[in-house]
Structure formats: C-alpha cells, structure tokens
Structure 1
Amino acid sequence: MAPRIAALLTFLSLSACGSASGNFVGEYDSVTTPILTSNGETTQGKPTNGTLTIVEGKGADTVIIKDPDCDIGAAVTSDTTFQVVSKYCPPKEVRDCEVTQNVAEGTGTLSGNTLVIELSGTNTAVCPDGSTTSSFALRIDATKK
C-alpha cells in the first residue's frame, strides 16, 4: 500500500507543477502598430484593433501566437517573457504581387494582464514590374480578456 501512496503523491506533485507557458495562453484584446522601413525611410502605420490568441505549443515551455496567415512560435524564457522563434511565412497574394513575410526576431513581455509583443523582420513583394524588400517592426499591445 505504501508504494502506491508514494507513487500517487509523486504524480500529484508533478501535476501541480505548471508550465510557465500557461501564463500567456488565452485571448487578448489587441492593438497592433506597424512600423515600416523602406529605402531608408521609416513610417508608422495606422494602429489596428483586434483579437490575439495564444495557445500552448507542442514542446515544453512553448507557445504559438495564432495568425490566419502564419502562426508564430515562441520559447517561454520566464514566467513573464518569451522569445519569438524566427519564422518564414508562406507567400500570399496582395493585389497583383506575391508577398512573403520573414519574422526574424521578437519578444513578449507580460505584466499582470498586459502583454507587449515586439516583432521585426522583412517583407518581400514580387510584382510583375519587379520586386522589393522592406524591413518592418510590429508592436502589439494586448490585454487579456
């Protein structure tokens, strides 16, 4: 009988140890502000309101920032921070161009119910009259619902 109790206590203690990724999981009201750099000029885009969803990743201490075009993974580095994994997103049609986004890096910081995600990378547009690559930075300010 004692070995069963010891095994049960071990199981219960391990079950109580939650992953830090759970701190980030959920739905957030978000405001996304793009900052684009092309040919040496930087412009801030119009902030966009929306909903941000974060789910548990497949690996330990990982999360996935859900996006209809390209989910982005992140490694949880503490109870309040994560590091975005670089991600090459599949091309999508925008007007008469094929645009590919490459997320090079990013971070997420959680303070209470407020999450700030900062991403950077490049967009490459291949159009009938040529192609161009521009850098971007994206800041997402989100509040957990």
Structure 2
Amino acid sequence: MFGMADGDPTPGLWNWAIGNRIDAERVHGAIAGALERNVGPLGTDGAIMCDVYRVGGDFPTLADVYLAPAGVDEATAASAVAVRLETAVLLADDTLDPTRYVLAEPDGTLRPVHVDEIETDDGPERRGLRPCTGGDCDRTPERPAAA
C-alpha cells in the first residue's frame, strides 16, 4: 500500500478540505470533470452527491463526497480536483497519525504533510501545514499524480 488515501476503509465517502473559499457549484463542477460523472448537492438522484460547507482555518471549504465511484483512487481524484480548482486539497491518509494528511497541490502533485486539526461547532478546522519529515514519513515518498 502506498500509505496515502488509496487504502480508504470507507469506499464511497471522501472528506476533503480545500485551501480557499470555493463556491459549491465550482466544487461540484471540478469533481464532475475529474470523475466524468454527474455531481450535485445532497438529495440529487442518480449522481455523486457532495456537501460543501465553510469553516475557519487554512482550508476553509470542506467537501464531503458521497457515493464516490468504486475503483477510483481518492488521492488521484483529489489531485485532479486540485488542478481544476487551482488550489490545494487536503485529504486523510491511511496511517494512524491523526495529524498526517495527503496534500494534493494545484499542480497535481501529491505529498504527505502534517496539519493540526481543531474541532469547532462549524466543523473541523485545519491549520499549521508543515512538511512530513522523520520516521513516520519514510515509507511514503512524494509522487506526482495523474491529474
């Protein structure tokens, strides 16, 4: 296993934090373009559903993607969405370290990072992005993604 989000134990549900304030329609469009499928808000029939909401922190737009297609690598999809939105997308990795995430950069590159998460009434805020260094990151090299 690569050590990034491609081993997600919850297929069909992706939770992403986006590095800028982005409108829900634009997020839906970027996901639709990346997956080549219809994407709409919760309650949309026959489509991938995506709930987009705002929080504070360095990644102020959260996107919960429901009914994500099986067989599509989450990190690769996030990479393609980051390119389309021209901003970073943060997603959980598959380690047990609660501060470690995968960062999909606007150029499509994927790399492991650490970030602090604070739970608020509005949802989780993520701050303090820093490179992944040390023993916990040795098994996960940076890699370019197919965006």
Question: Greater RCO between the two (CA within 8 Å, min separation 6)?
Answer: 2
In proportion to residue count, which structure has more strand? 1
Larger radius of gyration: 1
Q: TM-score, normalised by structure 2?
A: 0.28
Q: TM-score, normalised by structure 1?
A: 0.29
